[in-house]
Structure 1
Amino acid sequence: MTAQRYLSNQLYVYSVDTAAFYTADEVALRARISKLKQAGDQRERLRELESSAQAHFDTYSGVRTLREEKVTDKAVISLFESTLTRTIGVKPGAVTKDIIVVETYFHGILRSLILNGFTYRGEKYVCLTASAGQIREKKTVFIRESVWNAHKGALTAGLSVEAINAKGGTNTNKYLAYLALSNSATEVWRGFNIDKAIVVDDMEFPVETTVDYIDSRTFEITRQVMPIDIKHTDGCGMILPRKSRKSFMVRLPWIKGLLVPFAFDRFAKEHGNRVVTDIYGREWDIVKDDIEVIFTKSQFKMWKFYANWNDYVTKFKDNGCEAAKCADEPDMFPQARLNYQMLQTLPDLTDGELRQLTQAAVTEIVSIGRDRETMLEVLGAGPANRRKNYYQQALALYPELLVDEYSRQQLKAVKKAAVRRARAGKFKVDGVFTYITPDLYAFCEWLFLGDRNPKGLLADGQVSCSLYATETKLDCLRSPHLYREHAVRENVVTDETKRWFKSKGLYTSCHDPISKLLMFDCDGDKALVIRDETLVAAAERNMQGIVPLHYEMRSATTETIDGESIFNGLRAAYTGGNIGEVSNNISKVWNSSNVSLDAIKILCCVNNFVIDYAKTLYKPALPGDVKALIRDYTRAKVPNFFRYAKGKTARQVEPANGAVVNRLATIVPNPRTNFVAANLGRFNYLMLMRNKRVTINTDEAREIIAKYTELDTRKHIMSNELIEGKDGAFMYVNIRNQLLEVNDNLNYVVDILIKYLYVEKQSSFKTTLWSSFGDVVVENLRNNIEEKLEDGFLLCADCGGRAQIIKQRQTRCQSCDEQHRREKKRQQKRRERRVDVATSF
């Protein structure tokens, strides 16, 4: 078995910054600058050198070369498998140099790399794209030019930049975002047949409603009733339930969004019209043409650059394109956590209400160390976690591991984090995250029947979520939550909704401006749907008089795509503004002693212009009086609870006041963790091993232990990912491989390390073992448990020991069950004696 086998969906690429492309002169110049900085004097000379370096970066006209000494194991980062990696042939677990990620520190160097590419080991690399997440980290993806030329047709469905420019071009940053779809973490969509898919227009019509209209020039706010154009199916399409019973997100070249199961074929038959018209004007008979998937125009991002749907389908097949999917609707919906943004907008919550809301979180905190199920749950070993790592899998198989000191250290860390989260307003509530879905019955009325004002199954003010079929009122929220955005709605679950609405999403009404209140699309956005009566009541009273905000946004610019436009687009994205800063300023207002809703409304408007800046290159200037209003709040420090939410120090935050989230610090306790649970059973380290007789008192064993100790000690300087707070997946693969170079017997190496860490050293720190060899330990556990108890077992509720299952609904081992029965008889006799005494009077 190799190190790669257990990392089933990750692979590794190199990530460098722009300094890795310095010329020899620039290296020398930067060395002189560093020396002057260390000396701490000659500021004028330092400025001259900095200016000279910047000028050299900006004017260099050659093709830069990636310096070999920068391509090290420390520069390796992990990516999830995607259409891009599958298309170019990168296997899971492999390290590839076909893709190189570049982080930007100097825009002059980035411009050179984008315009001219760069070379590495005699191969040329060209700019590919940057996803939204990579843009936030100022990272750009480059690809080996020969690889791009070999596979670009498969990644673009045959659509070239030249073809796009020939038809007038498009917005460059949108183009990069759509191209980056192939880099999303996905799996192959098996069973998809593009010949059974079509693309139709979105359901779009105005909803008349009351809004607070913000003039984007004067920032004057007026309340008015007006029709608001809403694209109700924005990002959402339909798939027949026989093809998928769950909603999921889809990725094809230039196509992205959510597909929701809906029996549109049955709707067509029952209503006597099976013909629909696609976005290019062609008619399709849904039944005769055996259509299984209906995409919407909003999902097909580059539709205007294809002659018709058949043009896309032909190029899709001729180029061997892939359809992929991700984020399937789950079978189990774990309890969701609130966040401080959603809580701070309910300022009148009483301490009593806060105690009710945090009761489950406090119980969990107090129960860490006292209750087996709580301990497993907080460590991620419970059934709700569908992506358990190997340590969590081992805990689920063998809860006796909780007795080990490593587990106790993990629990202490989890408890500390749980307290910090709860005091920051991030605690579990009676709610779930689920996909937001339009009323697809209304969409079919619009699509098949031509009804431009469809009734649908949901009226204004109604939603339908089958997860809470018995609840009549739900608080529906979405992140980011900046203004007061609690959509309290009537939940409608009837025989008719059950017949048509097959997913477990939140279905919304096309007569309701809820999408403008929560600012969502239907392309995979999720709502936090809450049924907690305390929170619903608080939201309802705080939403009195609150209406959606509305302001006119600028359209995205259209341009010719070339190196300059790509560089300008990325630079605008990197420098256009910090939405985190705007969000923090909004929190300052919410947590001030004199909350101004007008200031919050204006900041929300500004935030959306900042978000769109990379596409529109437009940010409005605030008038002087508006600036003054905002400045009254934003010159303050961030709220006190940011000590818990953002890791701020006491000096960086305002003093605690009575604002709702600040009060959590006194409501959420931080008790000492005492490990007193009685039902953990007995831990036996031999259950983790394959050869239980292995000894560590040999030269080869000591060599393994010495190498492990060396690598474990050095791991924080072996990976930039650990420094950045990521999991350092490649580093642990590297440690595994280096240990197997010492001794290539994988099972022997693991047995030696277990014996050393669990017996001789009794170490509290075993992360490296579990991250490097967890797959082997889990396999050993499975084999040992099956060998010990072939016919099924349970963990005794009282002593935690393993017992053979011999009867239905058994919860205890035989010994504890007998003791439990005797205790029940004693209690029964005591009750009978009390009754006898009472009746004798």
Structure 2
Amino acid sequence: MSKKEEKKSKLFNVLKIKIQEIIKSKYDIHYDKEEEAAHFVQQQNMTMFKQLELIRGVETQDIIELIIVEARHDEKKEAQIRKLMNKGFLYNGERYVRFGKSASQSKDGMTIFIKENFFDEALKRTQLDIPIKEEVIPKYEGYRNLVFSACTIIEEDLPYIVIVDEYKKVLPNQYVKYMKEVPSEWYDKENDIMMPYDKKTIVEGYQDISLSPFDGFGIHTEDISKRYSLHMGFDYVARAFQIRIPYLKGVSVEAPFKSYYKERGIKKIKDVYGRFHNVEDIDCIWNISMFKAHGIFFEHFKEKAWDKYLEKLKKYHYRIGISKYTHNTAELNKYARMNFQYLQCLDLWNPKYIKAYKEMKINEYDILSEENEGKIIQLAKYSTDMLEKIIKGDVFYTLKFLGLKDSKGYTSRSNYVKAIMENEDMLRDPAIRSSLKRKLYKSITEMKYGKIYTEGFYHIVVGDIIGYMEYCADLPVVGCLNAGEFYAKTMKLGECVSFRSPLVDPSEVNLVNIVENEMTNTYLNYFENQDLCMVNMYDLTLPQQGGADEDGDAFMLSQNEILIDSKIHSPIVIELKDKESVKKVKYNKKNITEYELKSRDSRIGEITNIATSILNRYSENPDKIKEKSDDIALLRLTQGKEIDYVKTGIRWGINSRMRENLEQLPYFLLYNYPKKLKRYEQLIKHNRGIDNKDDRVMLNAYHSCSPLNELCEYINKWEQNNLNITEDSLNNLHLVINPNVENTNSSLLKDIKHIYNEFSSEYKKILEDDPEDEELTAIFNKYKEKLLQLSDNESKVFKFDVIVNHCITVAYKNKSEDKTLCWALFGDIMVRNIKCNSNGRKRYTISASTKEDVDAREFLGNYYKLVIEVNEGVNI
């Protein structure tokens, strides 16, 4: 295992319990070892785990001091949630109390509870010895609980960091859309009176827009890039890292500031506390948009704030954590999947499809005809062409589709892929064919709601590095990019579209120019082969693209001509009161509980669905078009508030007129919600044969001539014509078995069959609820334990290899037997057996190639060569 794989594979086990179980147990849960194991979920490393290790004095991967409690927003359970947050609960006789949650955990309704006897010490460590009397609780909790961010710890002393102030500027006279509150009235039926209120109204006009061009990012030396990449186990140098330390988060990007300042004659720079630092001593220049505790520490320690912060970090042995980083683009696909948010905010409407709808001739319309091909169908054809190759049995595309990258220097995590590579007969193995079919069906279903491939991929965003270096040295801040310009070495020079999720309004799609100039060529060539994008500081890119920050946000960049030509030009929607938050309150259990009750869900998906329902309706009425545009703009601002809700505590309501759009979604979106699709089919069946329209039940979806409904209809028809996977599978027991190990013990075979049946029953129920990865891991571990505990008639435990061979035998006794558990638990052993049993058969390898190679095959923008060899087999 490589150093990189070893670092990534270090996982910790943490208990995860749903509030329903806590309530059912009357807040006193008792689990035996088996039940406990079933509730463990695997978590990546985080700085909090190291703090617990220091408190307890021993290292372990089972984190029993913390329990994740899932309690999503539910008004019916408000009293129980309140009790839980106030008093905690007992687990196996020990009390656990509320400790905190990260921003992402908050959106998923999760809260971390800690053993009561660990609470005081852990709180002191996460507060860095500074107790809080009053704060904006949502914001403070988010920053204190950065210790729960998954990250890789850099095991070395902190670098020499200088903190500068945040740079702000104003872009004058920008023509934008914004919200204005206008006095209005609503009718109170109960009291039969008109009541005044301030109506949120969308207006257009010129405004001066405040901008923070370097919000969330700072810079570091090339030496830091190399050292941290070495610590991470990379075989390349990453140029930017997303940093996590208590109260500090953001992206640090490499910059040649030492040579740049030397050329400008600058030997010292001044920090935000008024002190000067020798440039040659500095490793990182970060700012207070990254250092979230600047206000807290400055209030207590004034100009010594940063020194005291570093003292606290050293006292508690904190190290820098890295939660994201730039990749070597040679390892990345150059195509990414679009989504319905991106596509519906482009002008992809097909005049021929619209005409068929208007003339009520849609049933006569041949959507598969090339003559009727709209822009969205042209985009989809790359994806359908690729899947057609897989359906027809193309080995190369099948291996790539199943997850293989480059077989030279890369080991696929999929044992199915390894099996096919060792013996071509495994392409017809029932387990592999079943898995491939499921994966194909899933991909096709996702294509129906917009997940189609196109040129382009995601890039971490940073601000103008030249401008940042100028600002930090108190030079005139000019930068190296002009309005409308991006710098990304992964893209060709010229026009490019930029997307960021979640995307609501068409104005959020950004059309820019990818450029180079003398400054970028002199100082920033290290962007080469990095998924890194630098934006300018002279336009509204950051507020335009969903109010983006430069603390790790990513933009999807594409130079597909259809996407570029389909950009809708309209005024950018701006929130003029950006980042407003609730007032400070006492930081006590009562107010923390109120914060918990209000922050257990996210309405981001709901807002997106309302926008989707509006955007996919067709109208030629100017008044309706204007209303639609204003509604979408208001939803864009509402979405921005919702995204920041965890930090600010402020969210906007959605009026009943807008909410009515949730009653009927566009037809294509049902494929993202299987239960809604099933309900739609039931309603269609119910209405069939009812002649009187007034007696029919309203459907939960509508058809329209929108591009995404066109795409959905196209994929449905294409699927009917192409998804014909033959069932000529092979029983490969002779390949997957170890011929040198016993596999005929009838009693053991019978016991294994019983466990398999039990697993299949439970597994099917879990799959119905769209399980998370940790839930699947838990069920596999549960049944692995059961299998390995099997004994013979004399109560002697069977040897491991004997049990495995019998498990394989039961799974392959007939083609219809479910083989999921067997492959999940013993896939690596089966691959070894295949290799040993395949002497003289074809085996495959895939290596990276170039477009110029006549034998090269293209997959998602990269080129590979498929090599066929003879498997010489090995002894078991």
Tell me if the contact between 1:17 and 1:102 (Cα under 8 Å) persists in the aligned partners: yes
The whole-number CA distance in structure 1 between the counterparts of 2:779 and 2:112 is 22
Tell me the residue number matched to 2:230: none
The one-letter code sitting in structure 2 at the alignment partner of 1:657 is: S
Tell me the residue number matched to 1:445: 470
Tell me the residue number matched to 2:418: 394
Tell me if the contact between 1:212 and 1:224 (Cα under 8 Å) persists in the aligned partners: yes
State the 1:660 CA deviation: 1.1
Could you list the runs of 5+ residues in structure 1 that have no partner in the other structure?
28-63, 798-807, 816-841
Tell me the residue number matched to 1:257: 250
Tell me the residue number matched to 1:599: 631
The whole-number CA distance in structure 1 between the counterparts of 2:517 and 2:89 is 61
State the 1:7 CA deviation: 9.8
The whole-number CA distance in structure 2 between the counterparts of 1:364 and 1:496 is 41
State the 1:601 CA deviation: 0.9
Alignment pair present for 1:434 and 2:459: yes
State the 1:472 CA deviation: 0.9
Tell me the residue number matched to 1:802: none
Alignment partner of 1:267 out of 253, 260, 285 = 260
Alignment partner of 1:376 out of 391, 399, 405 = 399
The alpha-carbon distance between structure 1 residues 178 and 500, as it changes in their structure 2 partners (threshold 3 A), is: same
The whole-number CA distance in structure 2 between the counterparts of 1:782 and 1:522 is 48
The whole-number CA distance in structure 1 between the counterparts of 2:845 and 2:748 is 35
Classify the secondary structure of the residue corresponding to 1:460: coil
Alignment partner of 1:108 out of 73, 79, 98 = 79
Tell me the residue number matched to 2:562: 534
The alpha-carbon distance between structure 1 residues 368 and 574, as it changes in their structure 2 partners (threshold 3 A), is: same
Classify the secondary structure of the residue corresponding to 1:14: strand
The whole-number CA distance in structure 2 between the counterparts of 1:403 and 1:621 is 54
Tell me if the contact between 1:12 and 1:96 (Cα under 8 Å) persists in the aligned partners: yes
If the length of structure 2 is used for normalisation, what is the TM-score? Answer: 0.76
Alignment partner of 1:98 out of 46, 57, 65 = 65
Alignment pair present for 1:120 and 2:120: no
Tell me the residue number matched to 2:142: 177
The whole-number CA distance in structure 1 between the counterparts of 2:820 and 2:321 is 34
State the 1:493 CA deviation: 3.0
Classify the secondary structure of the residue corresponding to 1:227: strand
Tell me the residue number matched to 1:203: 167
Tell me the residue number matched to 1:609: 641
Tell me the residue number matched to 1:345: 345
String of CA shifts for 1:581-611, please: whole Å, max 9, x gaps: 2221111110112342111112222333344
The one-letter code sitting in structure 1 at the alignment partner of 2:634 is: I
Classify the secondary structure of the residue corresponding to 2:823: helix
Tell me the residue number matched to 1:695: 742
Tell me if the contact between 1:154 and 1:320 (Cα under 8 Å) persists in the aligned partners: no
State the 1:372 CA deviation: 1.5
Classify the secondary structure of the residue corresponding to 1:299: coil
The alpha-carbon distance between structure 1 residues 569 and 100, as it changes in their structure 2 partners (threshold 3 A), is: same
Classify the secondary structure of the residue corresponding to 1:426: coil
Tell me if the contact between 1:391 and 1:774 (Cα under 8 Å) persists in the aligned partners: yes
String of CA shifts for 1:350-407, please: whole Å, max 9, x gaps: 3432222111111122122321222122222234999954436635854733331111
The whole-number CA distance in structure 2 between the counterparts of 1:721 and 1:658 is 32
The whole-number CA distance in structure 2 between the counterparts of 1:718 and 1:338 is 31
Alignment pair present for 1:560 and 2:586: yes
The alpha-carbon distance between structure 1 residues 532 and 598, as it changes in their structure 2 partners (threshold 3 A), is: same
The whole-number CA distance in structure 2 between the counterparts of 1:68 and 1:694 is 38
Superposed, 1:253-652 pairs within 5 Å as 253-287=246-280, 289=281, 291-306=282-297, 307=301, 308-331=305-328, 332-334=331-333, 335-350=335-350, 351-370=373-392, 371-383=394-406, 389-391=413-415, 394=418, 398=422, 400=424, 401-451=426-476, 454-468=477-491, 470-484=492-506, 485-494=508-517, 496-501=519-524, 502-503=526-527, 504=530, 505-518=532-545, 519-539=547-567, 542-543=568-569, 545-553=570-578, 554-574=580-600, 578-594=603-619, 595=625, 596-613=628-645, 615-619=647-651, 630=658, 634=661, 637-647=664-674, 648-649=676-677, 650=680, 651=683
State the 1:814 CA deviation: 9.6
Classify the secondary structure of the residue corresponding to 2:454: coil
Alignment partner of 1:239 out of 181, 198, 220 = 220
In percent, how many aligned pairs have the same letter?
Answer: 20
String of CA shifts for 1:627-667, please: whole Å, max 9, x gaps: 58747x63751111112233332345433210111000233
Tell me the residue number matched to 1:655: 702
Classify the secondary structure of the residue corresponding to 2:218: strand
State the 1:761 CA deviation: 3.0
Tell me if the contact between 2:65 and 2:118 (Cα under 8 Å) persists in the aligned partners: yes
The whole-number CA distance in structure 2 between the counterparts of 1:336 and 1:356 is 16
State the 1:254 CA deviation: 1.2
Tell me the residue number matched to 2:686: none
State the 1:207 CA deviation: 1.9
State the 1:514 CA deviation: 0.7
The one-letter code sitting in structure 2 at the alignment partner of 1:302 is: A
State the 1:560 CA deviation: 2.1
State the 1:328 CA deviation: 2.4
The one-letter code sitting in structure 2 at the alignment partner of 1:179 is: R
Superposed, 1:720-735 pairs within 5 Å as 724-726=771-773, 727-735=775-783
Tell me if the contact between 2:126 and 2:145 (Cα under 8 Å) persists in the aligned partners: no
Classify the secondary structure of the residue corresponding to 2:145: helix
The whole-number CA distance in structure 1 between the counterparts of 2:834 and 2:295 is 56
Tell me if the contact between 1:117 and 1:124 (Cα under 8 Å) persists in the aligned partners: yes
Tell me if the contact between 2:460 and 2:533 (Cα under 8 Å) persists in the aligned partners: yes
State the 1:182 CA deviation: 1.8
Classify the secondary structure of the residue corresponding to 2:490: helix
Classify the secondary structure of the residue corresponding to 1:220: strand
Superposed, 1:189-200 pairs within 5 Å as 189-191=154-156, 193-200=157-164
The whole-number CA distance in structure 2 between the counterparts of 1:526 and 1:203 is 21
Tell me the residue number matched to 1:665: 712
Tell me if the contact between 1:197 and 1:295 (Cα under 8 Å) persists in the aligned partners: yes
Tell me if the contact between 1:11 and 1:94 (Cα under 8 Å) persists in the aligned partners: yes
The whole-number CA distance in structure 2 between the counterparts of 1:223 and 1:171 is 32
String of CA shifts for 1:126-150, please: whole Å, max 9, x gaps: 2111223322232211011233445
State the 1:508 CA deviation: 0.4
The alpha-carbon distance between structure 1 residues 388 and 134, as it changes in their structure 2 partners (threshold 3 A), is: farther
Tell me if the contact between 2:160 and 2:283 (Cα under 8 Å) persists in the aligned partners: yes
Alignment pair present for 1:736 and 2:717: no
String of CA shifts for 1:158-189, please: whole Å, max 9, x gaps: 234x2x22xxx222122222233222222112
State the 1:711 CA deviation: 4.8
The one-letter code sitting in structure 2 at the alignment partner of 1:436 is: V
Tell me if the contact between 1:188 and 1:323 (Cα under 8 Å) persists in the aligned partners: yes
Tell me the residue number matched to 1:754: 808
If the length of structure 1 is used for normalisation, what is the TM-score? Answer: 0.79
State the 1:721 CA deviation: 11
The alpha-carbon distance between structure 1 residues 139 and 121, as it changes in their structure 2 partners (threshold 3 A), is: same
Tell me if the contact between 2:402 and 2:417 (Cα under 8 Å) persists in the aligned partners: no
The one-letter code sitting in structure 2 at the alignment partner of 1:734 is: K
